[in-house]
């Protein structure tokens, strides 16, 4: 018995010596591995708790939804091709009334003629009074005029566009004369048949209501043609009147407020320009003339 005990002690001592002196690392026991696994699990859990939890994604459900959406889009496209939608999807509007085609619009002087119906009607009424061959023609709108002439004992004139042969000129004239002006030496009117500085006619209505017509032909002195008196009376310092003159071939007629005041024939009437004219006397303050609704009816 003692011998067995002694052998057991020797074996135990040998095992102890070998275990302490060999320097080999001890083999981890199953309990140590469990401890390490638990530590790793705790670390992962802590990391998951530190980040916001992401909702679980059902990958299969997502794929199924995408497939269904694609199939629905393909079916809708096929249905659209088979039954195309109307271009205008707005609510139906009541039908628009039929559009009547516009008549062709004239251009140039013809359009101006049709826009000047009052002047056309006026010339139609004037035809017999002025012994015109015809009232047909083309209307030329001049507009308005407002000027003061400061040249003493001189005519001043401003031309409209174009040259004319036979015509009717009409305007509503008003004036302001300088204080102390000689009424027979100041007035407003028209220059007409102007073919150059040595060939023209001028008609002036003075402040007494007398119509003066002057003619220049050649380098000599101008001459005064036959005149006439308007009996209706006009304001000398300021006033207004409708003035009309007609020229057809060699026949000239002047009307003031619808009343004929002078008519004569002149074989030297030339084709030329038409304009507005002022005659100023000796006053340095000048003669002021205004005209509205100036129109030229070119007879044809």
Q: Please state, in angstroms and rounded to a whole number, the distance separating the CA atoms of residues 190 and 199.
A: 15
CA distances from 92 to 88, 89, 205 (A): 9, 8, 69
What is the reported pLDDT for 190? 98
pLDDT digits (tens, 9 = 90+) for 156-192: 999 999 999 999 999 999 999 988 889 999 999 999 9
What is the reported pLDDT for 76? 58
Domains of the chain, start order:
135-299 (2.60.120.560)
Q: Which two tokens stand for residue 75?
A: 């079916």
pLDDT digits (tens, 9 = 90+) for 21-77: 444 444 444 454 444 455 445 545 544 554 444 444 454 544 455 545 555 555 655
The structure's pTM equals 0.62
The arithmetic mean of pLDDT across residues 221-229, rounded, is 95
């Amino acid at each position: 018995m003692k011998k067995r005990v002694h052998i057991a002690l020797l074996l135990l001592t040998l095992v102890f010596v070998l275990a302490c002196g060999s320097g080999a690392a001890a083999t981890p026991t199953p309990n140590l591995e469990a401890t390490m696994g638990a530590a790793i699990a705790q670390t992962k859990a802590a990391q998951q708790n530190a980040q916001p939890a992401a909702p679980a994604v059902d990958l299969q459900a997502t794929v199924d939804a995408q497939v269904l959406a694609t199939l629905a889009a393909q079916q809708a496209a096929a249905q659209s091709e088979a039954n195309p939608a109307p271009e205008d999807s707005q609510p139906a509007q009541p039908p628009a009334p039929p559009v009547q085609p516009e008549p062709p619009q004239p251009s140039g002087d013809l359009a101006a003629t049709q826009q000047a119906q009052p002047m056309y009607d006026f010339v139609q009424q004037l035809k017999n009074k002025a012994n015109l061959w015809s009232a047909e023609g083309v209307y030329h709108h001049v507009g308005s005029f407002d000027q003061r002439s400061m040249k003493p004992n001189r005519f001043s004139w401003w031309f409209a566009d174009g040259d004319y042969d036979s015509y009717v000129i009409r305007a509503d004239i008003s004036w302001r004369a300088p204080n102390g002006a000689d009424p027979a030496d100041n007035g407003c009117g028209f220059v007409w048949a102007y073919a150059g500085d040595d060939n023209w006619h001028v008609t002036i209505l003075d402040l007494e209501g007398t119509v003066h017509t002057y003619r220049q032909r050649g380098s000599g002195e101008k001459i005064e043609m036959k005149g006439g008196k308007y009996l209706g009376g006009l304001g000398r310092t300021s006033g207004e009147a409708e003035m009309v003159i007609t020229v057809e071939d060699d026949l000239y007629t002047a009307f003031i407020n619808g009343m004929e005041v002078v008519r004569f024939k002149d074989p030297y009437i030339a084709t030329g320009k038409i304009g507005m004219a002022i005659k100023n006397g000796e006053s340095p303050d000048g003669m002021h003339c205004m005209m509205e609704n100036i129109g030229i009816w070119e007879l044809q």
